[in-house]
């Protein structure tokens, strides 16, 4: 599917992987709707990119807010044909410890934001895409979700995060099969260690140590490299129902 001349929705698009993806889509000629809880950053990014980029404040768990973002993208020239969901949160806690069992409410919240939030965006975006006229290849849209290599190599303390990201991996193929008859593809990117705002809070020596553990290239991934893969998924019609690790051959140790 061509990126140029389409409309795209980037959830969690105000920072990190989402910001890089919004920038890449805009540069490639798409009209971009940035959806995020952080209105200050989202509005600033939309203003920096200029037309045709806009911001919609949205919590991925709120159906009406996500629907508003989907509607905003669907109303643009070319219609909503690209959805990339980068919204998510992290948490570190063991299943049980000296402090007691893992907090159930926190576990539930991580699952809600990362997994249910991703599905909320997917289901609403795919429904809007289904109304599009198919392109020459029969495609009406592409949905890209964000998992993590923690889905496969979850470390000590990552039980909630890994479960949420494993759920995203698990829904990728059945969602792609669900939507095949509508000409909508679904794929997932599972990043490794990336230079995002979450890691930016760490001391520089700790960041360098994390990057050195990546086999090759021995550094943290760049958000622009995630964005590059997202666009390649959009442009390659045979990428469907697949989860792609983007991790420099990293396999996470237990801790």
With b for 16 or more beta-carbon neighbours within 10 A and e for fewer, the 216-233 pattern comes to: eeeebbebebbbebbbeb
Q: 226 catalytic, yes or no?
A: no
Q: Is 26 in contact with 49 (CB distance < 8 Å)?
A: yes
Which CA distances in Å does 57 have to 19, 32, 53, 145, 178? 14, 14, 14, 19, 29
- The β-bridge relationship of strands 242-246 and 53-57 is unpaired
Considering 55, 91, 161, 194, which one is annotated as catalytic?
161
- The β-bridge relationship of strands 80-85 and 184-191 is unpaired
Annotated active-site positions, please? 161
């Amino acid at each position: 599917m061509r990126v140029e001349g389409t409309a795209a929705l980037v959830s969690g698009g105000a920072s990190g992987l989402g910001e890089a993806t919004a920038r890449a889509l805009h540069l490639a000629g798409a009209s971009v709707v940035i959806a995020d809880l952080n209105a200050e950053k989202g509005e600033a990014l939309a203003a920096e990119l200029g037309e045709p980029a806009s911001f919609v404040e949205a919590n991925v768990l709120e159906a009406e807010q996500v629907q508003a973002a989907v509607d905003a993208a669907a109303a643009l020239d070319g219609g909503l044909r690209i959805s990339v969901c980068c919204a998510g949160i992290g948490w570190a806690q063991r299943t049980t410890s000296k402090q007691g069992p893992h907090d159930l409410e926190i576990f539930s919240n991580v699952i809600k934001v990362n997994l249910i939030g991703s599905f909320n965006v997917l289901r609403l975006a795919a429904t809007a895409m289904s109304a599009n006229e198919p392109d020459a290849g029969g495609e009406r849209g592409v949905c890209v979700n964000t998992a993590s290599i923690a889905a496969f190599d979850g470390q000590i303390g990552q039980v909630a995060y890994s479960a949420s990201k494993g759920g995203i991996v698990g829904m990728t193929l059945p969602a792609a099969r669900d939507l095949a008859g509508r000409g909508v593809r679904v794929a997932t990117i599972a990043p490794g260690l990336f230079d995002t705002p979450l890691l930016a809070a760490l001391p520089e020596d700790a960041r360098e140590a994390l990057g050195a553990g990546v086999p090759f290239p021995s550094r943290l991934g760049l958000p622009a490299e995630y964005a590059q893969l997202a666009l390649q998924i959009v442009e390659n019609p045979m990428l469907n129902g697949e989860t792609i690790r983007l991790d420099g051959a990293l396999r996470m140790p237990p801790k």
